[in-house]
């Protein structure tokens, strides 16, 4: 295990590409911060090894914690390495919905390299996503290389319809294409329910959790469709939350179900936890026999505050829903 070397390598690349080492403040001195765990091989690897693996894959799914700026800088670094190696993948974003595609295309025709103008055009400030400054490095890297930007997520009206009616709120052909009407294996469904309950601190009413599972599955399916629609020429990179990068039931699983020959690599950026210094020990919160990604890149955390306290007000509003 080359823990010190991996830490040095990640720190150097961050310093080179972003002008400083870490932006997230909590756990900067954690022994895993900056290391990369190859899940299948069960060993630490260097950043260059991950970049080379992505260069050779048709699809790369880069799973983030949305409000961690270091995750976005590392996503941008990996994208830049792919570009430097001659790849020209489309870059798809969970944060852009398919009904924004026309606005995005129109704006990029007017100002093809202006990331900030794109944010204004899609009214990012009203979107509910974290500060645009976090996503700007990834978008700027894509636009600077003239890469195609893809709006990958379900439109809000579709999500709202699924939230009210469950699977009946989704388009029938979409449901059939992804077999979303097929019951999940009991252990998978139980895991998804537990994940939703845990992520909402137990405040999600039992009556709406099944619909939340439907929405999660539908989002994964839609993002897989968005990547496949790019075509095989130079593949695509997906920027999305870590849960969507799961190889067992996230976007990679949908991609393989639709095109078994597609090479897909999943990289998840995970925040370190105080006192947890072994990568396999991070499996439990994600369930399963091992971490459900191809690679895990550990970073400092945005904060060490209990999320159930931090988001108390919004969780209370959720608790009152039915």
**99-152 per-position pLDDT tens digit:** 999 999 999 999 999 999 999 999 999 999 999 999 999 999 999 999 999 999
pLDDT band for 16, please (50, 70, 90 cuts): very low
* DSSP-assigned letter for residue 29: T
Q: What are phi and psi of 96, to 5 degrees?
A: -105, 130
CATH of domain 3-153+211-313: 3.40.50.11550
In degrees, rounded to 5, the angle at the alpha carbon of residue 60 between the alpha carbons of residues 285 and 56 is 130
Query: What are the residue ranges of helices labelled H in 68-144?
Result: 69-84, 101-110, 115-121, 132-144
Give the count of beta carbons closer than 10 Å to the beta carbon of residue 217.
Answer: 22
pLDDT of the residue at 37: 98
Cβ(266)–Cβ(39) under 8 Å? no
**71-98 per-position pLDDT tens digit:** 999 999 999 999 999 999 999 999 999 9
- Give CA–CA dist 36/315, Å, rounded: 33
Q: What are phi and psi of 105, to 5 degrees?
A: -65, -40
In degrees, rounded to 5, the angle at the alpha carbon of residue 46 between the alpha carbons of residues 41 and 52 is 85
pLDDT: is 172 or 195 the higher one? 172
- Tell whether the model's pLDDT for residue 178 goes beyond 90: yes
pLDDT of the residue at 7: 47
pTM of the model: 0.90
Question: What is the side-by-side strand order in the sheet with 59-64?
Answer: 43-45, 36-38, 295-299, 264-271, 59-64, 236-241, 90-97, 149-153
Cβ(63)–Cβ(265) under 8 Å? no
Give the list of residues 6+ apart from residue 147 with CB closer than 8 angstroms, or none. Answer: 83, 88, 89, 90, 91
Give the list of residues 6+ apart from residue 189 with CB closer than 8 angstroms, or none. Answer: 183, 213
- Give CA–CA dist 59/236, Å, rounded: 5
CA separation (Å) from 146 to 50, 56, 205? 23, 20, 45
CA separation (Å) from 129 to 88, 198, 236? 27, 21, 22
Instruction: At 96, list the tokens.
Output: 């852009």
Strands 264-271 and 236-241: unpaired
Strand segments, DSSP code E, in 228-310 are 236-241, 264-271, 295-299
- Tell whether the model's pLDDT for residue 302 goes beyond 90: yes
Q: Which residues of 272-281 are buried (b: 16+ CB within 10 A; e: fewer)?
A: bbeeeeebee
pLDDT band for 319, please (50, 70, 90 cuts): low
CA-based nearest residue to 8, from 44, 38, 40:
44
Q: Where are the domains of the chain?
A: 3-153+211-313
Question: Exposed/middle/buried for 54, CB within 10 Å: 0-12, 13-18, 19+?
Answer: buried
**35-50 per-position pLDDT tens digit:** 999 999 999 999 999 9
- Give CA–CA dist 207/108, Å, rounded: 42
Cβ(114)–Cβ(303) under 8 Å? no
Place of tokens 């608790």: 319
Cβ(237)–Cβ(254) under 8 Å? no
* DSSP-assigned letter for residue 183: P
**202-224 per-position pLDDT tens digit:** 878 888 999 999 999 999 999 99
25 alpha carbon, distance to own chain's centre: 21
């Amino acid at each position: 295990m080359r823990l010190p070397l991996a830490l040095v390598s990640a720190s150097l690349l961050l310093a080179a590409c972003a002008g400083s080492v870490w932006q997230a403040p909590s756990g900067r001195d954690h022994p895993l911060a900056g290391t990369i765990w190859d899940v299948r091989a069960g060993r630490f690897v260097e950043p260059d090894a991950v970049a080379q693996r992505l260069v050779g894959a048709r699809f790369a799914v880069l799973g983030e914690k949305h409000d961690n700026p270091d995750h976005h800088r590392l996503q941008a670094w990996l994208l830049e390495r792919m570009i430097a190696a001659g790849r020209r993948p489309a870059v798809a974003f969970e944060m852009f919905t398919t009904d924004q595609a026309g606005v995005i295309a129109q704006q990029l025709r007017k100002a093809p390299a202006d990331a900030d103008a794109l944010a204004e055009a899609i009214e990012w400030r009203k979107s509910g996503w974290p500060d645009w400054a976090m996503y700007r490095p990834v978008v700027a890297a894509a636009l600077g290389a003239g890469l195609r930007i893809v709006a990958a997520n379900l439109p809000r009206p579709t999500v709202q319809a699924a939230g009210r009616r469950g699977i009946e709120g989704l388009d029938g052909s979409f449901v059939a294409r992804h077999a979303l009407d097929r019951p999940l294996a009991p252990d998978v469904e139980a895991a998804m329910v537990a994940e939703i309950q845990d992520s909402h601190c137990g405040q999600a009413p039992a009556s709406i959790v099944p619909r939340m599972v439907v929405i999660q599955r539908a989002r994964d399916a839609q993002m897989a469709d968005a990547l496949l629609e790019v075509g095989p020429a130079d593949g695509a990179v997906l920027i999305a939350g870590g849960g969507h990068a799961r190889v067992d039931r996230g976007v990679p699983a949908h991609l393989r179900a639709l095109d078994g020959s597609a090479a897909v690599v999943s990289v998840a950026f995970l925040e370190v936890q105080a006192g947890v210094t072994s990568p396999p020990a991070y499996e439990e919160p994600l369930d399963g026999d091992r971490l459900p990604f191809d690679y895990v890149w550990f970073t400092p955390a945005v904060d060490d505050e209990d999320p159930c306290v931090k988001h108390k007000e919004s969780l209370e509003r959720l608790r009152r829903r039915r």
